[in-house]
Structures are given as C-alpha cells and as structure tokens.
Amino acid sequence: MFAFIIRRVFQALIVMLIISLLGFAIKQSVGDPVREITGISVSAEERDALREKLGLNDPFLVQWVRFLDRAVHGDLGNSFYFKRPAFDVILSKAPATLELVFATALLVILFSVPIGIYAAVRPNAWPARFLMGASIVGVSIPVFLTAILLIYIFSVTLGWLPSFGRGELIEIFPGWKSGFFTWDGLAHLVMPSVALTTIMLPLFIRLVRAEMKEALETEYVKFARAKGLRPSRVLLLHAFKNTLLPVITVGGVQLGILIAFTILTETVFQWKGMGSMFIESIERADTSLTVAYMVFVGFIFVVVNTIVDVIYGLVNPMVRVAGGRS
Amino acid sequence: MTRIKQFFNSFFFYRFIRDPVAIGSFIVLAVLFISGFGAPVIAPHNPYDTTTIDIMDSELPPFWYPDSDSRFLLGTDSQGRDMLSTMLYGMRVSIFIGLGAVTLQAFLGITIGLIAGYKGGRFEAFLMRVADVQLSFSTYMVAIFFGALFQAAFGMGLYENFAIPMLIFIIGFAEWPQYARTVRASVLGEKKKEYVEAARVIGLPSRRIMWNHILPNTLTPVLVISTVQVANAIMSEAALSFIGLGMPVTRPSLGSLIKAGFDFIFSGSWWITLFPGIMLVILILSINLLGDWLRDFLNPKLYKG
Amino acid sequence: MGQLLAVKDLTVKFALRRSSLTAVNNVSFSLSRGERMGLVGESGAGKSVTGFSLINLISKPGYIDTGSILFEGRELTGLSDEEIRQIRGNRITMIFQDPMMTLNPVLTIGTQMVETLKAHGNISTRKAEAVAIDKLRLVQIPSPEKRLRQYPHEFSGGMRQRIVIAIALLTEPALIIADEPTTALDVTIQAEIMDLLITLCDLSKMGLILITHDLGVVSEVTEKIAVMYAGKIVESGPTRSIISDPSHPYTKGLVKAIPGNIPPGEPLHQIPGMMPTLTDIPAGCSFHPRCEYAGNICTTQIPDLAPVPSRQSNVACHMISGRLAPSDIGSAARRKRQTAIAEELPA
C-alpha cells in the first residue's frame, strides 16, 4: 500500500514537472520579464543590466530550476496587466470560481442521484427511457449555447434574472467575497450554475445508473432481499452505499471536464472567476498570468486526482494488487 | 453490383432500416454534410465576397418577422451577411476541422496503440502512461491549454492565419489517447488468438502481422469510437472558437459565429447567435445518435483499458 | 410430523419480448416439519429458480406462471409483495452459494444482522444485538461481541459462511433454503459447515431444502431427494433408495459419477453430452438425446412422473413407468430389443 502511494505521488510530481516545463518554455519564448517589471520607458543598457542581474542570460535549465524553486514558494511571476504577483491575482479570483463549482456540484448531486437510481431500477419504464434520451441531447448541446439560451429566455425576454457578473457580495473572510448571502448574489448565481449543471448532469446520471445497475445485480443485494428487508432499505443502503465509492472516484476524474466547462461558462456570464481571468489573460497577451493559471490548475488537478486515487486504493484492495487504476 | 446487393441484404441494413432514430439521424447528417461541403454551390450568397455585402442589410430578422427581407431567408448578421449562407460556410469549416482532427488522432492513436499493444517495450509503456495522464485531464482542458500555448507562442496573427491546421493539430493531439487505449486493449486481446500464432509460425514479418492481420480485427471498436470522436472534435472546435482560440471571425466556423453573434442577443437579434447554435446541436446530436445506434448494433466488448 | 411445505404443479417462466421460456416445469414436492430434502441437478436444471421462487425472489423477467405453494397452511402465490416480504427472511430464510459475495462489504456484520431482525418485528437494537451474538455463538464464531463491529473482509470464507448461517437462523425460521452452501468453500471446510448446518437444523427442528449438484453431499444429510433435469423433476423419493438403486437413467448416471462409488484408479464416470439450454429443449423426454436406453416414444412423448411399482420413488421415464419391467433396463446389450419394443407402442 505504501509503495502504491509513493508511486502515485511520484507520478504526480512528474506530471507537475512536465506542466511547469511546458509553461516555462512558452514564457521564455514569448514573455519578457524585464518588460513585466519595468514597462517600456527604460533604456536598452538599463535593461541589459537588469537582465544580467535577474539571471536571464543563464542557460535554460538553470532558469527553469529557478522558476521551479520560486513556484514552490508560491511565486509564479508577475501579471503584466494587473501589475501584481500572478499568484495573488489567481487567489483573488478563486472564490468566484469555487462558489460556482460548489453550487453546480450541489445541483448535480441533488438531481443525478435520484434520477440515476430511478433509471437503474426501472430501466424500461418510459420516464427512464425519456431521461436517458434527454441525456444524449444534453451532452450534445455545448455549455456556452445553453448559457446563451438561458440568457435570451430569462434575461432578455422575461427579464427575470441578471445575465452577467456576481451581483452584491459580502466579505465573509478577508479576501473572500461571497455571493451566497444576498438575494442579489444568489440570483446572479442561478443561470451560470444551471448552465454548468446541464452539461455535467448527463455524465453523472449515466454514471450513477451504471454503477447502481451493477450493484443491483450483486449477490449481497439479492441476499438483502432474501433477508426480507424493506425495498427502500435494500435500494438506498445496500445497493447505493456500494456505488458511492466508484461514483466519487470517477466523479473526481471529471474535474478536468468541469474546469474546462467552467472556463466557457464564466466567459459567457462574465463571471469574474479564474476561468474568465484565464481567457482575458490570453487576449491581453499577459503570458505570465496564462502560464501561472495553467501551473496552478495543473497543480490542483494533480493533487485532487492523486488523493482520489489513493483513497480508492485504500478502500479497494484490488487496486493495490493491480498497481494503479487509470 | 453484387457488393451492393450484399449490403442491402445484410443484417446491418436490415436493422438499420427498421430503426427510425438511425434512419432519421443518418438522413439529417447526410443533408448537413452535403449542404456543408456544397456550400459554394448551394448557398444563396457568398459571405466572403465583400462586394455583395451591404451594411444596410445588417441584423435583418428571419422570414416570419414582418420586417424581414425575402432575399435573406434566415435573416442577416451584424455585417449584413446572409445567415443561411454564413452558417453553411461555417459548418463546412467545422466539419472539415472535425474530420481532419479525427483523421490525425486516429492515425496517431492507432499507430501507437498497435505498436504498444503488439511489441510493448519501455517507450510504448511510457506513451500509454502519457495517454492515461492526458485523458485524466480531459480532452477539452488539454485542447484549451494547447490552444492558449500555441497562441502565446505564435502570436495572434500567425495563429489566425493558420487556424485550420492549428486546430486540427491541437484537437487531434488532445484526443489521440482515446484511440490508442482502445486499439491497444483490443490488440492485447487479439494477440493471444491462434491466427496470430499461425502467422508468426509461417514466418511473416511482425510489421505485416500487425497491419494486415491484427489491425482489421480491431476495427470494430475503432469504428464505434470514431463517430463519437467526430462529434467531440466538432464540439471542441466550437468551444475553442467560442473563447477566441479558434477560427477568426473573417473565416468563421459555427463556434466563432456563435461567439460573434452573442453580443447582439441583448439587442434582441437572437438569430445571429442561436441559428448557428441550433445547427451545431443538430449536427452533433445526429452524429451522437448514429454513434449510439452503431454501438448498440456492433456491441463490441469495448475493452476497458 | 405435520406438513410444512407443499409445492404443487409449480411452473416458472421467463418472459421474453414475445414468447417465454419455461425454467421450471410442473414441479411438485412436499416437506414435513424438520424434514430435509435435496434438490439435485446440473447447473441450469432449474433447481435454484425453484428455490428462489418459493419466496418470490426470482430475478426480473422471471415469474410464477401456475402452481401453488402451501407453506404452514398459507398459500404463498398471489401474496402481495409486502406479505411475502414478511415471510421471506423470517419464516423461510436462505443461505447463498458464495459467502465472499453474500455479505455487503461496506456494512458491519452487526448492521447486517440487526437489520434482519428489525425488518421482521419491533425490536430494540440492543435486544437485536443480543440475539445476533447468541446466534454467532451458536455457529461457533469466537468472541462474537467484538466480531459484530467488524466488516466482512475481516473474516475468512468459512467464517463468513458461518455468519450467513447465523443470519439465516436469527428469526428461528421453519424452513431454510440452502443454495449450494458449500460449493465455494475449501474441501476441508465443506464438511465442517455442512455438519454445523445439519446439527442446527436438528436442534430447532427446521426444515431444509438443500440445492446442490453434489449427490454425494445430499446422500449423507437429507431424507429425500428430487432430481431435476431441464426444469422438470425426473425422479424423487427417499434418499436411501434412490442412491442405492436409482431408476431414471439420468439419476443412474449421477450416482455412478459420485467419486466414492468408483474404485481407485478407474476413470470417473461421465454422462455423455450436455444438458439442453432452455431455448432448445428437445421434444418428448428432454433427456433422450443423452439416454442410452431411449426409444422412439421418448422422442415424441413427455413421460409423466409416476410411482415405480415395488419402489417408494416416482420416476418420469417411459422405459420404466410400469409399461416396461425395470429388469429390462440396465444392460446395454439389450438395448436394441428395448428399442424394438418401444417402437411397437402406440405413439
């Protein structure tokens, strides 16, 4: 088991190294750190001096190691546009994205579990067939189109919901402004989270349904029935509890898709989170910030995936034997 | 002639002709492909020809509105271009990139998967590991990141000039692991069978065994994922275009048309963004439905990697 | 000894899109209180489906088509789901084949025992745990108080099957249906578990239906046997007479195949051929393609299960059921003449 964890962590480190190398190479070829610091109103001699002082004439690998060293200490360079450390900019945008993701996760869990269970128990009933058909339609509609449709219906035509921004915010911690505690903030949250839910929901309904179907076929569920337990207990405790682990682990792997869709959703609704910041940084050619975002998201992603894998390995003895689930 | 006769008598055709969803989505898809690739002939206007475009015609609504113009069936966009024609040209770009990206990923994935499955070895094991990691990041995220890296590396202008090959490369590169894993898994299954043993015994070179004997037997799962992959590639292209990492507005795909029209939704000109959106959904949906049917029909043991 | 269970003309079918398959065909048997019966046959013969159908636990497209199941004076077919649930796991309990799969891996042994008691009566958790500990002790699980808090994976296969038996005993049932209870276990543990089961059945006068393909096990522990083939009972009667002198050609084959009946060094006996699948059961006697005595009548007419003269057993075979003397069978050399006789019979 210990060896398994070590191997996973080692692999995670390699992935991080590769991400940082890619990001750094781009930064090297495009961004000019001197420009980031000084702007353009500085003479060529002064720049050269600064260049030497910053070690920018050192070999590529030496600079990369320096970049890594700084990154480990939370220094991902400075944003050209914001004139602030990129890491600080990302952190200031994180609450918006986290709140959007949290609201979406809540909606996905709330709907996917009952619908998935229902579709597994009654696979041939017409509501189940309809829902499975609808889920194919659901994955075929790009998230930004759902978002645009929602805006057209509920903002432009009906005028019920605000179409952009986060609305009125309340600072709950230093640096964390939340929209959860005002009606205006919640109203702004409705459409972005619903749009993001429509694209994630079909994935999870199919997942819950598949796992639940498998669990219902097992001997222990049959034995639970043979013990004369009430059907609700057989379904919700014996079958469903066993689907939780695969649903959580497979769900954890969907994080990459969620991040990508968050970027799209935030762009449509001008939701001032990390995703729209990323797109804006590309448009502004703010390469430091672009790279910093990639390294940061890559880091979170690798950490979450490794934790999920290790938890899975801890609980499921089969993984330890097979040596790695992927 | 006999081939055609054989096809119409086949079980495949029998099942196909009795499934309204399959026939429906096939017909829709055929119409879309033909009208997309035939856009220069079919489209009533040429949206690239600036001489025929009049800014005075901008934002005209579709035909059922009283103030519509009979020249423009589905209305016009902000520059006065005919929506229908623009969409047909845009769909051509979308389909072209989608097919190109799938061709590239199939080529990469099948080659790597085949060699990794048949010969093994450290380098192949490493490539499959890369495939796993890349898949866990999700193809969308990889595509967006590579799009961002490419645009940063080449600069906006160069990127837009070579947008089509760039996008084909990015999406193809982001999605090759799907093929590699599918092919490798079925190669590992096929390798143990006796016909491979027999081919080896009679002394065929392994390259020939791989391509002529094993590959044809792995094509069923490849065919199944291919349909879904085309839909995914078109979807990826639309997403990249929507966030500004795809086709420029001057040579729009469906995704960049949606992006360009988005701002006008607030002034009520919904058709500029929603018509290309509806076309995109119909395109993707019909491919997905056809893929679903194909998977049910072939029902291969889609090997889990 | 009062009657506990009477199954009459039970037919179980599996619904297909347009037609249906018959998995259990016109099966009848009965059981007295505390009596033990073996339901024997190859896999796919319908013995498990018969067992499961008694407590209406056939998996989905299956359904009871016709027949009656009289248990403790109560008709079980036609009961509502809730009524049958109260009997299932309470008056009739089950033991499954593979103890590694039977217990839910994410729930403690205690939870899985207590919930059974709570499903069948208003009982406090504390009292239910006391009963559970009591039963665990009965199946010889050491330090049961502690074991109650543990998960299935902390037990060996043999231990788990003891726990499954303990669960089956919780509600003091009148009948236990054991579906291949020792097949998945190590040979050394098999006898141990079987002994335990029999002792406990005797102790509280429980009836037992032992579903198995192993005639050897059945011969040691049951009082009567029903042999099933392709969904039908082909022979039934007291264990001793069937084992020592089987009448049906299929039973003969099975008895011959018991390893103990073969001198060391001899090859094991085999019945040639395979049991038909439900989709293509042959016309007439379904055993005739594999039967060395089969005559023309066997290919067209389905034999009834009828008493064999001068024996206590019932047999479904044209070649015996009084129409032909039993002494006529048994020698392959006489087979030709046999066939000739059969051909003269009206079809």
Kindly state the average pLDDT of the residues C215-227: 87
Domain-located, residue A89: no
User: Hey, what are A297's tokens?
Assistant: 């998201």
Query: Is the pLDDT reported for residue A227 higher than 80?
Result: yes
| Amino acid A24: pLDDT | 80
Which of B62-71, B116-125, C16-25, C132-141 comes out lowest in average pLDDT?
A: B62-71
A237–chain C nearest CA distance, Å: 9
Question: Are both A76 and A219 inside the same structural domain?
Answer: no
Question: Are both A156 and A241 inside the same structural domain?
Answer: yes
Average pLDDT, chain A: 80
Closest in A227, A241, A242 to C116, CB measured: A227
| Amino acid C340: pLDDT | 42
Question: Are both A168 and A135 inside the same structural domain?
Answer: yes
Kindly state the average pLDDT of the residues C138-161: 88
In whole angstroms, give the CA distance from residue A172 to residue A131: 39
| Amino acid A143: pLDDT | 87
Q: Which residues of A touch B270 (CB under 8 A)?
A: 152, 156
Query: Is the pLDDT reported for residue A2 higher than 90?
Result: no
A101 CB-side CA count, 13 A: 20
Q: Which residues of C touch A242 (CB under 8 A)?
A: 104-106
Question: Residues A15-25, buried b or exposed e (16+ Cβ, 10 A)?
Answer: bbeebbebbbe
| Amino acid C175: pLDDT | 92
User: Locate tokens 């002082």: which residue?
Assistant: A53
Chain B residue with Cα closest to A301: B137
| Amino acid A55: pLDDT | 66
Confidence of residue A107 (pLDDT cuts 50, 70, 90): very high
Q: Indicate yes or no: CB of C101 within 8 angstroms of CB of A317.
A: no
Domain-located, residue A88: no
Which of A290-299, B45-54, C33-42 comes out lowest in average pLDDT?
A: B45-54
C198 versus B129: the higher-pLDDT residue is: C198
| Amino acid B103: pLDDT | 92
Question: Residues C63-72, buried b or exposed e (16+ Cβ, 10 A)?
Answer: ebbebebbbe
In whole angstroms, give the CA distance from residue A178 to residue A174: 11
Pairing of strands C92-95, C74-75: unpaired
User: Hey, what are B21's tokens?
Assistant: 């969803």
Chain A residue with Cα closest to B266: A156
User: Locate tokens 């979807």: which residue?
Assistant: B235
Q: pLDDT tens digits, residue range C99-137?
A: 888 888 888 889 899 999 988 888 898 999 999 998 898
A4 versus C33: the higher-pLDDT residue is: C33
Question: Residues C9-34, buried b or exposed e (16+ Cβ, 10 A)?
Answer: ebbbbbeeeeeebbbbbbbbbebbeb
Q: Indicate yes or no: CB of C96 within 8 angstroms of CB of A228.
A: no
Q: pLDDT tens digits, residue range B145-178?
A: 888 888 777 777 777 778 888 889 888 888 888 8
Confidence of residue A324 (pLDDT cuts 50, 70, 90): very low
In whole angstroms, give the CA distance from residue C199 to residue C176: 13
Amino acid at B246: G
Chain A residue with Cα closest to C169: A227
Contact B152, B175 (CB under 8 A): no
Question: Are both A194 and A294 inside the same structural domain?
Answer: no
In whole angstroms, give the CA distance from residue C131 to residue A161: 60
Domain that holds residue A7: 1-81+285-326
Q: Phi/psi class of residue C143: alpha, beta or left (left: φ > 0; alpha: ψ in -120 to 50)?
A: left
Cβ neighbour number for residue B198 with a 10 Å cutoff? 12
Confidence of residue C318 (pLDDT cuts 50, 70, 90): confident
In whole angstroms, give the CA distance from residue B197 to residue B202: 9
Q: Which residues of A touch B305 (CB under 8 A)?
A: 326
Confidence of residue B305 (pLDDT cuts 50, 70, 90): very low
| Amino acid A34: pLDDT | 61
Question: Are both A265 and A185 inside the same structural domain?
Answer: yes
Q: Indicate yes or no: CB of B280 within 8 angstroms of CB of A142.
A: yes
Question: Are both A47 and A183 inside the same structural domain?
Answer: no
Kindly state the average pLDDT of the residues A28-52: 65
Q: Does the CB of C323 have a partner CB in chain A at under 8 Å?
A: no
- Work out the burial of residue C280: count CB atoms within 10 Å of its CB; fewer than 13 is exposed, 13-18 middle, 19 or more buried: exposed
Average pLDDT, chain B: 81
User: Hey, what are B23's tokens?
Assistant: 């026939």
Query: Is the pLDDT reported for residue C346 higher than 50?
Result: no
Which of B82-86, C87-91, C161-165, C198-202 comes out lowest in average pLDDT?
A: B82-86
Query: Is the pLDDT reported for residue A36 higher than 60?
Result: no
Question: Are both A275 and A289 inside the same structural domain?
Answer: no
| Amino acid A207: pLDDT | 86
Superfamily of domain B74-302: MetI-like (1.10.3720.10)
Q: List beta partners, residue A199.
A: none
Query: Is the pLDDT reported for residue C334 higher than 50?
Result: no
Question: Residues A34-53, buried b or exposed e (16+ Cβ, 10 A)?
Answer: bebeeeeeeeeeebeeeeee
Question: Are both A151 and A219 inside the same structural domain?
Answer: yes
Q: Which residues of A touch B156 (CB under 8 A)?
A: 285
Contact B91, B36 (CB under 8 A): yes
| Amino acid A41: pLDDT | 64
| Amino acid B299: pLDDT | 60
Question: Are both A188 and A277 inside the same structural domain?
Answer: yes
Question: Are both A272 and A149 inside the same structural domain?
Answer: yes
In whole angstroms, give the CA distance from residue C286 to residue C260: 28
Confidence of residue B301 (pLDDT cuts 50, 70, 90): very low
Question: Are both A123 and A267 inside the same structural domain?
Answer: yes
In whole angstroms, give the CA distance from residue A137 to residue B281: 8
Kindly state the average pLDDT of the residues B68-84: 74
Closest in C90, C153, C164 to A228, CB measured: C90
Domain-located, residue A86: no
Chain B residue with Cα closest to A298: B137
Residue B92 contacts by C-beta under 8 Å, 6 or more apart in sequence?
A: B36, B37, B39
User: Hey, what are A165's tokens?
Assistant: 């921004």
Q: What's the full length of chain A, in residues?
A: 326
Query: Is the pLDDT reported for residue B104 higher than 90?
Result: yes
Cβ neighbour number for residue A248 with a 10 Å cutoff? 13
| Amino acid C327: pLDDT | 43
| Amino acid A318: pLDDT | 45
In whole angstroms, give the CA distance from residue B244 to residue C135: 70
As a whole-number percent, the residues of chain B with pLDDT over 90 amount to 8
Phi, then psi, of A306 in degrees rounded to 5: -65, -45
Closest in A30, A139, A259 to B153, CB measured: A30
Q: pLDDT tens digits, residue range B230-242?
A: 998 998 899 888 8
Tell which residue, B158, B189, B145, B138, has the closest CA to residue B303: B189
Query: Is the pLDDT reported for residue B304 higher than 50?
Result: no
Domain CATH for A190 = 1.10.3720.10
In whole angstroms, give the CA distance from residue B148 to residue B174: 13
Q: Which residues of A touch C107 (CB under 8 A)?
A: 237-238, 241
Domain locations in chain C? 106-169, 262-344
User: Hey, what are C267's tokens?
Assistant: 């090859």
Tally the domains of chain A.
2
| Amino acid C332: pLDDT | 42
Domain-located, residue A312: yes
Residue A154 contacts by C-beta under 8 Å, 6 or more apart in sequence?
A: A160, A161, A191
Reported pTM: 0.77
In whole angstroms, give the CA distance from residue B15 to residue A92: 57
In whole angstroms, give the CA distance from residue C122 to residue B76: 73
A80 versus C160: the higher-pLDDT residue is: C160
DSSP state of C103: S
Q: pLDDT tens digits, residue range B243-286?
A: 888 888 778 888 888 888 888 887 777 888 888 889 999 999 99
| Chains within contact range of chain A (3+ C-beta pairs < 8 Å) | B, C
Kindly state the average pLDDT of the residues A3-27: 80
Question: Are both A41 and A76 inside the same structural domain?
Answer: yes
Query: Is the pLDDT reported for residue A320 higher than 50?
Result: no
| Amino acid A240: pLDDT | 86
Average pLDDT, chain C: 82
| Amino acid A32: pLDDT | 60
Residue A167 contacts by C-beta under 8 Å, 6 or more apart in sequence?
A: A179, A182, A184, A185, A187, A188, A189
Domain-located, residue A20: yes
